[in-house]
Chains A and B, each alone.
Chain A
Amino acid sequence: MSASQSAVRSRAEAVKVSRTFDWLILFTLFFVVLGGYHIHYMLTGGDWDFWTDWKDRRLWVTVAPIVSITFPAAVQAVLWWRYRLPFGAVVCILGLLLGEWINRYMNFWGWTYFPVNFCFPSNLMPGAIVLDVVLMLTNSMTVTAVIGGMAWGLLFYPGNWPVMAPLHVPVEYNGMMMTLADLQGYHYVRTGTPEYIRMVEKGTLRTFGKDVAPVSAFFSAFVSILIYFLWHFFGKWFGGTSFTQSS
């Protein structure tokens, strides 16, 4: 067979090859995203995602969506503009959560014996589904950034509340009031994570009384919009071929 001849001899064989490529690329994409996104999220979200006694109503709500909308925005840019595929955000979160669960179960629990109910990851799936759907229905980066980015930030806290609420039940402990999550942090000793490095309930957002979470979520949603634009452009640039042509 010469180089100019086709590798396939029939339409059926072409379809078969195409599907094989689909699975190979999807498999590779999934694990590349899993690795890159996981490292990114651990470095930027880190302890806020590791421990229940960091998941507060102020900084966790603010930080986690902002640092996590990055890869979904970039992968969406590649999959949508190149293939019209609206699962960029979901595939990112599927990869991230799989990686995180493997890490939490194998390392945090299996290796160092922190209970899983203390070190489970945050749930980012509701925002990812809405982000993908908005891009698909609007076919617009701007609308996706504004509506989808806003939804990404706003859905984060309520999407996690069913798992977190039971850990915010108060307990009286030797004359002090703590939540069960605080008690987990105190009981399960972390030599490298002293109490003072927890960044919980810090800041100047005091004028809204106890209703801090919605305000934090709106702020997070606003910044998520900006980060979405930035990383969507990264994705577009990375998904292009101009840099290979110029070389």
Chain B
Amino acid sequence: MKLIKDKVAKLSFVALLVTVTAAMFYAPTASAHGEKSQAAFMRMRTIHWFDLNWSKDTVPVNDTMTISGKFHVFAGWPETVDLPEISFLNIGIPGPVFIRQGSWIGGQLVPRSVSLELGETYEFKVLLKARRPGDWHVHTMMNVKGGGPIIGPGKWVTVTGTMGSFVNPVTTLLGDTINLETYNLGNTYFWHAFWYALGLAWLGYWARKPIFVPRHLAVEAGKADSLITAGDKKVALGFAVATIGIVAFGMSSTNAAYPVTTPLQAGLLRGMKPIELPARTVNVKVEDATYRVPGRAMQMTLTITNNGDSAVRLGEFNTAGVRFLDPKVHVDETGYPDDLLAEEGLTVSDNSPIAPGTSRTVQVTASDAAWEVYRLADLIYDPDSRFAGLLFFFDEAGGRQMVMVDAPLIPSFI
């Protein structure tokens, strides 16, 4: 007997030590989203985010910030990803460190899934309320049914204050204002504790008498029926009647307390309103495109035709949220995340203004460590080795035109 007790004590002590040791291992906060691990073609050929703006870099708890901008749904959507016919405008944050107070596409609130059209450009906005202090990488994100989460650019935002002070007041249609953060918590604990206690009482009733060995011997000896007494049956009946009675009482008293309830709401919002872009006057033909692995640079030969009435210059190439700029044409003043911004990353062999009615073939190089850091170079290992991106042309009056490019990409290893 003592031997068994000693062994149990020893094993319990060892188990406790192992548990404590495991818990003491360093476990850093997961504050980013593995965005660099997502297949490059998914980020380059599905949703193109641009004109993004994170309204604040630092937000106190209970204060709000917005992420706004536009996204273009790539017309050459890859075959390996389901079409964005059922999509959800999400936000990429590590758990509910913010709450999403609102999200809009084309001015319409989108708490539900939406249907997006290929080739269209949409305006969006997400309103976030800070909840948990820390430094958080806040991404744009579009979930696509059958395609998974398509993560967009992220920016570090600091939330200050204490989570204990966070409140989430909501006014119901019955006129009551509640704090959704803690609403119904006491009621939940009460009912679960109550039923758990009743279950323990049932178990305790049987565990107060010998349980396994004598009962097994009795069953083996053919005396099983003697193990359940008339008193046991009365107690059991009492438990069953009480259970059904309490369930019925709980149901009726709840219905009396909450006479107005509605079913969960769900559905798909169709007909999202895209941006009506002005007629495009710049045409671009990709003659060839190569990615030079040692130089971390993509080179494109483009034939640009200007059919407009104002001379234009190429100022930006945007792919997978990484922006390559020609600083002589365009400088970012929006506070775009540094790691996604190659301020001098775009080189054009001849970037003098292209006059109206003329064409020019130029060599365009987009080079930056971001190709490697954001693992966009891995595109050459993808099943459909094509690249895509947005070219932004600027005219003399400061006007901007967006042109989508999409072409095969040939890797160069020397």
Show the binding face of A for B, using Cβ within 8 Å: 8, 13, 15-22, 24-26, 53, 55-57, 81-87, 90-91, 93-94, 97, 101, 112-117, 120-121, 123, 125-126, 128-130, 132-134, 136-137, 155, 158-159, 161-163, 165-184, 186-192, 194-198, 200-202, 210, 212
A166 & B184 in contact (Cβ 8 Å cutoff): yes
Number of A-B contacts (CB under 8 A): 277
Supposing A93-B199, A170-B261, A173-B111 touch, asked if A85 and B187 sit within 8 A by C-beta, the answer is no
Chain A residues within 8 Å of B251, by CB: 158, 161-162
Chain A residues within 8 Å of B414, by CB: none
Our pick among B172, B178, B185, B211 for the contact of A26 (Cβ within 8 Å) is: B211
Chain A residues within 8 Å of B176, by CB: 169
Show the binding face of B for A, using Cβ within 8 Å: 1, 4-5, 8, 33, 86-88, 90-102, 109, 111-113, 131-132, 141, 143, 145, 149, 163, 168, 170-174, 176, 178, 180-185, 187-188, 191-192, 195-196, 198-200, 202-203, 206-207, 210-216, 218-219, 224, 227-228, 232-233, 236-237, 239-240, 243-244, 246-248, 250-251, 253-255, 257-258, 260-266, 268
A94 & B212 in contact (Cβ 8 Å cutoff): no
A196 & B143 in contact (Cβ 8 Å cutoff): yes
Q: How far is the CA of A200 from the CA of B250 in the complex (A)?
A: 24
A187 & B100 in contact (Cβ 8 Å cutoff): yes
Supposing A18-B214, A83-B212, A168-B258 touch, asked if A180 and B207 sit within 8 A by C-beta, the answer is no
Chain B residues within 8 Å of A93, by CB: 199
Chain A residues within 8 Å of B163, by CB: 113
Residue of B whose beta carbon sits closest to that of A125? B195
Knowing that A187-B101, A189-B99 are A-B contacts, what are 8 other residue pairs whose CB atoms are under 8 Å apart, sorted by A's residue number? A24-B8, A82-B216, A91-B203, A117-B183, A133-B237, A136-B232, A194-B90, A194-B113
A201 & B264 in contact (Cβ 8 Å cutoff): yes
Residue of B whose beta carbon sits closest to that of A27? B8
Q: How would you classify the secondary structure of chain B's contact residues: helix, strand, loop or mixed?
A: mixed
Supposing A94-B196, A155-B247, A173-B111 touch, asked if A21 and B213 sit within 8 A by C-beta, the answer is yes
Q: How far is the CA of A11 from the CA of B311 in the complex (A)?
A: 105
Our pick among A120, A169, A184, A189 for the contact of B261 (Cβ within 8 Å) is: A169
B263 & A168 in contact (Cβ 8 Å cutoff): yes
Residue of B whose beta carbon sits closest to that of A101? B192
B198 & A26 in contact (Cβ 8 Å cutoff): no
A94 & B228 in contact (Cβ 8 Å cutoff): no
A163 & B187 in contact (Cβ 8 Å cutoff): yes
A181 & B264 in contact (Cβ 8 Å cutoff): yes
B264 & A56 in contact (Cβ 8 Å cutoff): yes
Our pick among B183, B206, B216, B247 for the contact of A126 (Cβ within 8 Å) is: B247
Rounded to whole Å, the gap between the CB of A115 and the closest CB of chain B is 6
Q: How far is the CA of A170 from the CA of B171 in the complex (A)?
A: 9
Rounded to whole Å, the gap between the CB of A16 and the closest CB of chain B is 7
Chain B residues within 8 Å of A171, by CB: 170-173
B90 & A129 in contact (Cβ 8 Å cutoff): no
Rounded to whole Å, the gap between the CB of A38 and the closest CB of chain B is 15
* Cross-chain pairs A/B with CB under 8 angstroms, 30 sampled: A18-B210, A18-B212, A84-B227, A87-B202, A87-B203, A115-B181, A117-B181, A120-B188, A123-B191, A126-B195, A136-B236, A158-B251, A161-B251, A162-B250, A162-B251, A163-B192, A165-B254, A165-B261, A169-B172, A169-B173, A170-B174, A171-B170, A174-B109, A178-B111, A179-B265, A189-B95, A189-B98, A194-B145, A197-B145, A200-B266
Rounded to whole Å, the gap between the CB of B22 and the closest CB of chain A is 14
A117 & B171 in contact (Cβ 8 Å cutoff): no
Q: How far is the CA of A87 from the CA of B33 in the complex (A)?
A: 45
Rounded to whole Å, the gap between the CB of A81 and the closest CB of chain B is 8
Q: How far is the CA of A113 from the CA of B31 in the complex (A)?
A: 13
